[in-house]
Amino acid sequence: MVAPVLARSAADRRHERETRFYVPRPNHGAIAQIAELTAQGRKQEARLIRAMIETPTAVWLTGGTPRDAEGQARQITRQAAGKKAVPVLVLYNIPFRDCAQYSAGGATNVAEYRAWIDGVVRGIADRRAIVILEPDGLGIIPWYTTINGQLEWCQPAEADPATAAAERFAMLRYAVEQLSALPRTQVYLDGTHDGWLGVGDIADRLIKAGVQQADGFFLNVSNYRWTDRLVRYGSWISQCIELEEQVSWWNPAWCASQYYPADPNDVSTWERTDADYQQRWASVGITPDPAQMAHFVIDTSRNGQGPWTPPAGRYPDPQDWCNPPGRGLGARPTSVTNHALVDALLWIKVPGESDGQCSRGLGSGVVDPEWGRVDPPAGQWFPEQALQLAQLANPPLR
């Protein structure tokens, strides 16, 4: 196990200073928006945007050559080290990224991806870093048959159905091996979120991707799920992984989840799943040790108002994950979480940057009816959404 960047248990945190996370250079669109608001005399709104971009966020590395990736990783980690801060690096370049949707792209083959990872590893070297490895990398897998025997929807014609899923896991394992070998880097794999995969399904995928060699997994990247539910979901994933590790005959498909015995739409029923895990551990005579289990981090950049409930029957595909209205910034980044399995709350998705050109199922390139405009492409600044996120922050920006 690498030397920890973040506290590894509740006891550790009592004796460790809070981690200072790195604040990267802001999106140029944010600077332009601040200038425009100020010129219009809207100084309070300009102050909110400024407070938002002065909060630590992740830096996304999304492509280029291995040399490009090496240079970017070296530059960011050196800048952060100079400020005595820890950078959060998101690596987002795996082949068939986002299954050719709004954030399509990535390396073109396994060898290219491995070389790109090698470049990132050389760039980080012995400096401190937290690596978020491939958002959606385990939630969306090309030509993947789930633990329940279902062939998933991502079936790109360019990918070989016979090898695409196995190659995805192999690439992630390679990245975990190389990154976890660095002396001061922590690496987390995709754990999706509580509104998506069931616990057994994502635990099985994490195991196949090498989570036992990583520091754990991340939740809620680029989404809006409530933090308290994510903590419970993450703890169930961690327990499911640990059961598979500790009990030779255990199958992750048997793990209780937000879908059973709980009802995902009624949080009061989630106690049933908590009780199921307590009974499982008692039945095998093991008390799980949080220090030895997979930890996780949570993206709270945009979940201050929780997920969006689209108006019933209005849209063919509401796309509740795509630039939803009425959302707010969530809890500020911190390594003091008061939960033994939660290493940190982080702003991984950069708030204010668009999720893509959302159509609500009405066609490509059309006006988003929730915003009254064509949304900016993924990753570009979305001034209207940025201001709303800042205004509806929970807790409020100061």
* Residue 317, pLDDT above cutoff 90: yes
Residue 121 lies in a domain: yes
Residue 172 lies in a domain: yes
How wide is the angle at C-alpha 205 spanned by C-alphas 86 and 241, nearest 5°? 80
What is the span of the domain harbouring residue 218? 10-309+326-352
Q: How many whole angstroms separate alpha carbon 129 and alpha carbon 80?
A: 9
Residue 387 lies in a domain: no
Find, among 48, 97, 67, 148, the residue nearest to 391 by Cα. Answer: 48
Instruction: Out of 7-11, 136-140, 264-268, 356-360, pick the least confident.
Output: 7-11
* Residue 291, pLDDT above cutoff 90: yes
CATH number at residue 185: 3.20.20.40
Whole-number pLDDT of residue 2: 35
Q: How many whole angstroms separate alpha carbon 325 and alpha carbon 306?
A: 11
Residue 300 lies in a domain: yes
pTM value is 0.94
Whole-number pLDDT of residue 363: 85
Residue 380 lies in a domain: no
**What pLDDT band is residue 102 in, cutting at 50, 70 and 90?**
low
Give first-to-last CA distance, the chain, whole Å.
Answer: 38
**pLDDT tens digit string along 63-94?**
999 999 999 999 999 999 999 999 999 999 99
Mean pLDDT of the region 194-221: 98
Q: Is 379 left (phi over 0), alpha (psi -120 to 50) or beta?
A: left
Residue 365 lies in a domain: no
**pLDDT tens digit string along 374-396?**
999 999 999 999 999 999 999 99
Residue 398 lies in a domain: no
Percent of the chain with pLDDT over 70: 94
Q: Tell me the two tokens of residue 315.
A: 């849209």
Residue 397 lies in a domain: no
Q: Name the domain count of the chain.
A: 1
Whole-number pLDDT of residue 398: 83
